[in-house]
Structure 1
Amino acid sequence: MTKTPFSINRRQALSGLAAGAAATAAPGFMTRALATPKTIKIGLVQPSTGPLAFFTEHIPFVLDQVQKTLGGSIDVNGTKHPYEIIIKDSQSNPNRAAEVTQELILQDEVDLVATFATPETVNPVSDQCEINGVPCVSNDAPLEPYFFGRNGDPAVGWDWTYHFFFSGGGLSRALVPYWKRLETNKVIGGLWPNDGDGIAQSDKAHGFPPYFESEGFSVIDPGRFDMPASNYNAQIAAFKAANVEIIQGVLPPPEFTTFWNGAAQQGFQPKIVYVGKACEFPQAMEPLGDRALGLSTEVWWSKYHPYSSGLTGQSSLELADAYEAASGRQWSLPLGFRHALFEVIFDTLKRTENLDDKGSIRDALKTTNYKSIVGALDFTKGPFPNTAETPLVIGQWVKGEKFPLDMVIVDNTTTPEVPVNAEPMLIKYS
């Protein structure tokens, strides 16, 4: 078991409560033994190591902010309860994610589980919570791979597991207006691996191809592939043969680097490249140098978003600035969602009627209707049961001032309240 350095120390928390009880006893009266308030145990499953580790960099900062804001305890029904956050590493492996979730539930006896970082983490964690009757809240996996990747039934949903993020439908609706503003032959190459995201996006009935084709685009799909891949020669050859000018895919950062290096070596020069997971992180883009300029990404959250935290009161810009000041690193999209995850956790706990009853925690979670730093979250609205959809805009990478690269917002068709601060551009090759 790994605990974050910002976890609440159980012994310190209980000692502080005992001291407080003694200090408030009336002089001359013998104090009675008081029941110790329940310590709330929160399990957090994350990919601390492996190819998805990029997704976890903000956690220490966010937990430090939580600690400073709450002071180590939360008020539930007039009683202050200390909390403990127990972190487990999924190692970027779905099987390991399931194993450590079982440890949290059966050994650590957590009251609630939280998780994030792609369906490969979120789905197995959520499934274990559903099986064992433990409330779970998650984000950072598109809604369709989360819901249908777990064989969800839209007529039924689940009892214990809740999730908020953007949807694949929302992503396709955000990408198409951006693509149409640029001059291309409208031929898309699908870079879709054999994983939860790739299978959902490539689905010929409910995925991206039918929607893109209905909007006047052609789709070239070389088929699913396993990762890690030693090279992407087959995909690049297929894209070149079909004169693909738009890449739409979803790969972890190391895999995208392999693909993009191969494209350069083979003289493949698409005009637009959007690859989810990889192109969201400045740390993954910086090693590419000028070859990162013009790469595009869906933007789930940014310092430009007009939303504020219900936990700390910070605006999106204030949160991004605080992260950069504390870490020396550049803000990136997951920061807002890491923060929002704990907004929802503590909002849920504060509204729980009986902390000793996991069903009561679940009932508070499922009625969440909350204004967070990533936007309004309402699990009753869907589009699927147990989910809340968050907004999207489109960004591209440009040369930076404070850091080597900056992400700018270039299209806000589907979320006009997020301001645009640059014009969309085709990738330029020297």
Structure 2
Amino acid sequence: MPKDTNHLNRRSVLKAAGAGAAFATVGGLPRVAFAAPKTIKIGLVMPATGPLAFFTEHVPFTLDQIKKTLGGKIKVNGTEHSYEIVVKDSQSSPNRAAEVTQELILKDKVDLVAAFATPETVNPVSDQCEANGIPCITNDAPLEPYFFGRKGDPKKGFEWTYHFFFAGQQLIESLVPYFKRLDTNKKVGALWPNDGDGIAQSDKEHGNPPFLIKNGFSVIDPGRFDMPASNYNSQIAAFKSAGVEIVTGVVPPPEFTTFWNGAAQQGFQPKVVYMGKALEFPPAITPLGDRALGLTTEVWWSKFHPYVSGLNGQSSLQLADEYEKVSNRQWSLPLGFRHALFEVIFDVLKRTQNLDKPESIRDAIKTTDYKSIVGPINFNKGPFPNCALTPLVIGQWEKGKKYPYEMVIVDNSTAKDVPVGGDPRVIKYS
């Protein structure tokens, strides 16, 4: 056989075997030895410690549930792959979040990065992924501080990073109908800190103030402040002086406890108190005792939501019930989004054409059109590029039957398919 023909035949064998094969020569003939399928590495950045640690309590349950559902493997293009989830603690610090994301990308060589829990976590994680060309999926931070906080251009968007949650505009559009149903003087006191959420909500052009004013409310805003704060005396004094009857803001649980204790000490008794972050978790509510009754929070997911997991077929109620049975803890809002994050991740991986190419994983994220336990997720519908909007309703804390305090959905103006469980009311003081 001519040399050239022999060379071409060998090249054909190499091409047919693919990049994942090794070659050994036995008896003068080539033998193909295929390598094991690629293990998919998923990086997860979360605030396991620090003031945002409340957001992570559902992670062990979620990861265990996923392992039981998938058996530690996922089939992609007919090939079964193992997967590994590498978890890093951001320590509730944006700088630390960026550092550990670099570790995941450069040291751990992950194929995809995921993160959650406020702009202080998802923004620095997403920025590192964008800079390094690594696919990234995040949730649990309002869309505006995620997109515009990262200097996103609505005409271009981002290349590698995608996010799903409610939007700040959607929040205020949900709160205003709720506020209007209550008997108040429409004076709103703002507790907006000097962080991603606070800056976005306080923006006088695109934030909450213009929409509130347009709807007949006045806004008393003492200005941005850094956290942790030793006290909120100046804000409380400003609210009392102006006759504020509605308080709105977004601070972590420890900060709200400081504010609410100060309000009691100074005799400030607003009729309505809405607080993002702080009032979403039973462990933060229970220590307040009956002073928690009537407090308001946005509800991004609940056991009452009419959605089903595309991963294991569980309804929202079934997911909440299983969590309570396994953990002996009360369900809370982040549970659905922890589950949905991995629903989307594994849906993306299953649709990826070539796991060895980050661009292929990115392209699968781009085309996501998925029905999750938190609602439909489609990154092409916006309202901003790379973002998917999920439903939002309003809830209040009341005396519970199974637990001391339980959340009741009281207004569904912007998500009619989520059922209400009661009527809104003003806070009652003894």
TM-score (norm 2): 0.92
In structure 1, the residue matched to 2:245 is 245
Matched, 1:144 2:144: yes
In structure 1, the residue matched to 2:367 is 367
1-side partners of 2:257 and 2:366: how far apart? 39
Could you tell me which amino acid in structure 1 is paired with residue 182 of structure 2?
L
User: SS of the counterpart of 1:407?
Assistant: strand
1-side partners of 2:388 and 2:190: how far apart? 27
In structure 1, the residue matched to 2:354 is 354
2-side partners of 1:152 and 1:241: how far apart? 39
2-side partners of 1:76 and 1:373: how far apart? 23
Give per-residue Cα distances to partners, 1:213-244, cap 9 Å, x unaligned: 00000000000000000000000000000000
Give per-residue Cα distances to partners, 1:47-105, cap 9 Å, x unaligned: 00000000000000000110000000000000000000000000000000000000000
In structure 2, the residue matched to 1:415 is 415
In structure 2, the residue matched to 1:117 is 117
In structure 2, the residue matched to 1:236 is 236
Give per-residue Cα distances to partners, 1:130-160, cap 9 Å, x unaligned: 0000000000000000000000000000000
2-side partners of 1:204 and 1:365: how far apart? 34
User: SS of the counterpart of 1:106?
Assistant: helix
1-side partners of 2:308 and 2:283: how far apart? 25
In structure 2, the residue matched to 1:403 is 403
1-side partners of 2:313 and 2:35: how far apart? 33
Matched, 1:326 2:300: no
Give per-residue Cα distances to partners, 1:89-130, cap 9 Å, x unaligned: 000000000000000000000000000000000000000000
In structure 2, the residue matched to 1:154 is 154
User: SS of the counterpart of 2:43?
Assistant: strand
Could you tell me which amino acid in structure 2 is paired with residue 140 of structure 1?
D
1-side partners of 2:206 and 2:128: how far apart? 27
Give per-residue Cα distances to partners, 1:355-400, cap 9 Å, x unaligned: 0001100000111000000000000000000000001000000011
In structure 1, the residue matched to 2:57 is 57
User: SS of the counterpart of 2:100?
Assistant: helix
1-side partners of 2:144 and 2:131: how far apart? 20
In structure 2, the residue matched to 1:182 is 182
Mapping of residues 335-350 of structure 1, within 5 Å: 335-350=335-350
Alpha-carbon distance, 1:34 to partner: 3.0
User: SS of the counterpart of 1:150?
Assistant: coil
Could you tell me which amino acid in structure 1 is paired with residue 171 of structure 2?
L
In structure 1, the residue matched to 2:424 is 424
Give per-residue Cα distances to partners, 1:283-303, cap 9 Å, x unaligned: 101000000000000000000
Give per-residue Cα distances to partners, 1:287-327, cap 9 Å, x unaligned: 00000000000000000000000001000000000000000
Alpha-carbon distance, 1:32 to partner: 6.8
Matched, 1:194 2:200: no
In structure 1, the residue matched to 2:314 is 314
2-side partners of 1:413 and 1:227: how far apart? 33
In structure 2, the residue matched to 1:274 is 274
Alpha-carbon distance, 1:402 to partner: 1.2
2-side partners of 1:102 and 1:281: how far apart? 30
Give per-residue Cα distances to partners, 1:173-195, cap 9 Å, x unaligned: 10000110010000000100000
Matched, 1:48 2:48: yes
Could you tell me which amino acid in structure 2 is paired with residue 162 of structure 1?
Y
User: SS of the counterpart of 2:148?
Assistant: helix
1-side partners of 2:32 and 2:425: how far apart? 71
In structure 2, the residue matched to 1:168 is 168
User: SS of the counterpart of 2:248?
Assistant: strand
In structure 2, the residue matched to 1:284 is 284
Give per-residue Cα distances to partners, 1:320-349, cap 9 Å, x unaligned: 000000000000000000000000000000
- Structure 1 residue ranges without an equivalent (≥5): 1-30
Q: State the identity as a percent.
A: 76
User: SS of the counterpart of 2:322?
Assistant: helix
1-side partners of 2:190 and 2:155: how far apart? 31
User: SS of the counterpart of 1:362?
Assistant: helix
Alpha-carbon distance, 1:33 to partner: 3.5
In structure 2, the residue matched to 1:19 is none
Could you tell me which amino acid in structure 1 is paired with residue 51 of structure 2?
P
1-side partners of 2:413 and 2:211: how far apart? 17
2-side partners of 1:165 and 1:292: how far apart? 26
2-side partners of 1:32 and 1:292: how far apart? 68
1-side partners of 2:228 and 2:248: how far apart? 19
User: SS of the counterpart of 1:159?
Assistant: coil
1-side partners of 2:157 and 2:414: how far apart? 27
In structure 1, the residue matched to 2:380 is 380
In structure 1, the residue matched to 2:220 is 220
Matched pairs, number? 400
1-side partners of 2:406 and 2:121: how far apart? 28
User: SS of the counterpart of 1:149?
Assistant: coil
Could you tell me which amino acid in structure 2 is paired with residue 150 of structure 1?
R
1-side partners of 2:127 and 2:34: how far apart? 38
1-side partners of 2:155 and 2:238: how far apart? 40
1-side partners of 2:179 and 2:369: how far apart? 34
Could you tell me which amino acid in structure 2 is paired with residue 57 of structure 1?
E
Could you tell me which amino acid in structure 1 is paired with residue 169 of structure 2?
G
